[in-house]
Amino acid sequence: MVIPGPQEPEKTYHPSDGLFTDAHVPDFDAYLAIYKKSTEEPEEFWADVAQEFYWKKPPSGQMLQYNFDVNKGNIYIKFMEGAKTNICYNVLDRNVHERNLGEKVAYYWEGNSPNHHQTITYNQLLRNVCRCANALKLLGVKNGDRVAIYLPMIPELVYTMLACARIGAVHSIVFAGFSSESLCERIMDAQCNILVTADGVYRGDKLINLKKIASEALERCKERYVPVCCSPLSEEPLFTSTSHPSIILHNLKKKKIAKNYLVSICHVLQTWMFFVCFQILYKYCTAVWKTSYLSNLVSVCFRYDLSSLRVLGTVGEPINPEAWLWYYDVVGQQRCPVIDTFWQTETGGHVLTPLPAATPLKPGSATCPFFGVQPAILNEHGEELEGEAEGYLVFRKPWPGIMRGVYGNQERFESTYFRKFPGFYVTGDGCRRDKDGYYWITGRIDDMLNVSGHLLSTAEVEAALTEHPSVAEAAVVSRPHAVKGECLYCFVTLKDHKEFNRTLMEELKRKVREKIGPIATPDFIQNAPGLPKTRSGKIMRRVLRQIARNEKDLGDLSTLADPKVVEVLFSQRCEAAA
């Protein structure tokens, strides 16, 4: 049983008049018309999109074939079967040679310090991608080979990804903060035979010796009899497969919606392999900030002229309404729409998203489905819920960008995403749909709490806690309880100069009871000067659960941005629980 908290009427925010006079989707009625065609006539809709690309070979079969029901056989998704193209050619060569856009800026790069920046045109990008492709070929890389890329956020990362796509190699991006052990595991899982890395990188004032880490990783690979050539320049890793031709259709629609505001380029490789999306941000049009870093924006607001901003984006954790409003009011100056999207690596692009000129916004909501995407909400018995509801977020049918499998592991693919509710793609996230049909992400299913038989959303409890004027951030996890099965263990980060005491704890418990109900009253509230987060800003709830249960074996923490946070939380745990 899902217990949604009492909901206050949500205020909607509309785009400023005239802000997007040239928008691809100028208003909500236009969105509804396009969405209707994309779901009722998907083959015709995506065929129209496909005409905007160069195809060396057109599809030889149906536009779409799929099976989402494990009871009917193996899960599969096929889009544009038999079609053949090259994403690098579509992204670069056509823009330079056919459209004469060689001198147009492809993207702006901002480095670690203010004096590290580049403006890279399509001509420069094409030239450097070709040089990198030739270098890889000289190293023996050929069509179908796997290339591990262990690089920081530098232009060479983009060159290498596109170079792989150009020559038909498969690239596996490994975050440049991972340990040698994590890098080795990812090299082995993707069966890479080339590793591209750099000597090192500064992150703030800290020097990270990437070459040393890469060398240690290669030694580990050799011990496991996996030869890898090195080219200097969280959970168990999940390598997904997608379709080279079809995913670019999904991302082209995103690009056209964003127009000159936020441009996505998707680098997709062979039809049996996996993909990586790379976001290109127009420096003077769009600001994209992780929700966990909103506090760092205060100084930016006063030091820089923000009048050129047109769209604001937010990624990572779902943004709570209070942070959304601050972002909209202070950074966007009440004229820039906040594009708060829901997507996964597995979805290949945004699946729930507002459109800058078309969608009335509600603080904290991912709003409406993207074209071709058909969401549904199920209860724990797999029954579809209509109208206002809260439950498990799933999707009925595939779209071009969705993953095709887990590389080398069909069983894991089916058990992770399709077995729980046959006939649906299961996101693993909880979701609420309001009376207007807007979708609100309530947190991961494994972040749902079963308290005395009632399913509670951690996101709802966190939102209630952050409504208190003393709380800057909150994270809620489960802890075993002898009577209730599970209980709520809350970590709260206070605003500057606020004191954590028993009075505050009682106020927070009362706030949760008022917002959600007595069943959601926290059993434990712990002061958290900081929360364990990945470098991309996501809270590591697995670690928080282990802290709440006093489990000292934390496993792989290579993605953790600041390990000292964990030590502090363990040291203060005794104040909250025995």
Q: Which residues contact 50 (CB under 8 A, 6 or more apart)?
A: 80, 83, 245, 249
Structural domain includes residue 348: yes
- 334 and 283 co-located in one domain: yes
Residues of the chain with pLDDT > 70, as a percent, come to 82
Predicted local distance difference test score (pLDDT) of residue 225? 63
* CA 487 – CA 480 distance, rounded (Å): 6
Which two three-digit tokens encode residue 221? 């690979």
- pLDDT tens digits, one per residue of 166-219: 999 999 998 887 778 778 888 988 899 899 999 998 877 888 899 999 999 999
Structural domain includes residue 53: yes
When pLDDT is averaged across residues 523-544 and rounded to a whole number, the result is 89
- 72 and 129 co-located in one domain: no
- 361 and 476 co-located in one domain: no
- pLDDT tens digits, one per residue of 12-71: 998 877 767 788 899 999 999 999 999 999 999 999 999 988 999 988 888 899 999 999
Q: Sign of dihedral through CA atoms 102, 105, 111, 113?
A: positive
CATH code, domain carrying 43: 3.40.50.12780
- 154 and 103 co-located in one domain: yes
Predicted local distance difference test score (pLDDT) of residue 563? 85
Q: Which of 181, 210, 241 is the C-terminal boundary of a domain? A: 241
pLDDT of 76 strictly over 60: yes
Length reported for the chain? 578
Q: Is 375 or 495 the better-scoring residue by pLDDT?
A: 375
- 415 and 334 co-located in one domain: yes
- 297 and 235 co-located in one domain: no
Q: Is 451 or 107 the better-scoring residue by pLDDT?
A: 107
Distances in Å between the alpha carbon of 451 and those of 470, 487, 518, 523? 27, 6, 11, 11
- pLDDT tens digits, one per residue of 482-496: 777 788 999 999 998
Structural domain includes residue 138: yes
Predicted local distance difference test score (pLDDT) of residue 386? 95
Residues of the chain with pLDDT > 90, as a percent, come to 49
Structural domain includes residue 16: no
* CA 522 – CA 576 distance, rounded (Å): 11
pLDDT of 258 strictly over 80: no
Pairing of strands 76-79, 454-457: unpaired
What angle, 0 to 180 degrees and rounded to 10, lies between the N-to-C axes of helices 541-548 and 564-572?
Answer: 30
Q: Are 244 and 218 in contact (CB under 8 A)?
A: no
CATH code, domain carrying 459: 3.30.300.30
Residue 138 backbone phi and psi in degrees, to 5: -65, -30
Maximal C-alpha separation, the chain: 70
* CA 281 – CA 201 distance, rounded (Å): 21
Structural domain includes residue 109: yes
Provide the pLDDT confidence category of residue 252 given band limits of 50, 70 and 90: low
- 456 and 417 co-located in one domain: no
- pLDDT tens digits, one per residue of 537-568: 788 888 999 999 998 888 778 778 888 899 99
Residue 352, beta-bridge partner list:
342, 369
Residue with tokens 């090259």: 86
Residue 481 backbone phi and psi in degrees, to 5: -135, 135
Q: Are 176 and 208 in contact (CB under 8 A)?
A: yes
Structural domain includes residue 149: yes
Q: Is 113 or 446 the better-scoring residue by pLDDT?
A: 113
Predicted TM-score (pTM) of this structure: 0.73
Q: Which of 181, 213, 241 is the C-terminal boundary of a domain? A: 241
When pLDDT is averaged across residues 449-475 and rounded to a whole number, the result is 84
Number of domains comprising the chain: 3
- 311 and 321 co-located in one domain: yes
Structural domain includes residue 23: no
Predicted local distance difference test score (pLDDT) of residue 300? 64
pLDDT of 475 strictly over 80: yes
- 363 and 253 co-located in one domain: yes
Structural domain includes residue 134: yes
pLDDT of 455 strictly over 80: no
- 60 and 141 co-located in one domain: no
Where b means 16+ CB within 10 Å and e means fewer, 278-310 reads eebbbeebbbebbbbebeebeeeeeeeebeebb
pLDDT of 102 strictly over 80: yes
pLDDT of 96 strictly over 60: yes
Q: Are 406 and 413 in contact (CB under 8 A)?
A: yes
Q: What is the mean pLDDT of the chain?
A: 82
CATH code, domain carrying 192: 3.40.50.980
- pLDDT tens digits, one per residue of 265-308: 222 222 222 222 222 222 223 333 333 344 455 666 777 788 88
* CA 545 – CA 489 distance, rounded (Å): 8
Structural domain span for residue 430: 28-80+243-443
Q: Which of 402, 426, 443 is the C-terminal boundary of a domain? A: 443
- 74 and 41 co-located in one domain: yes
- 407 and 544 co-located in one domain: no
When pLDDT is averaged across residues 362-391 and rounded to a whole number, the result is 94
Predicted local distance difference test score (pLDDT) of residue 392? 92
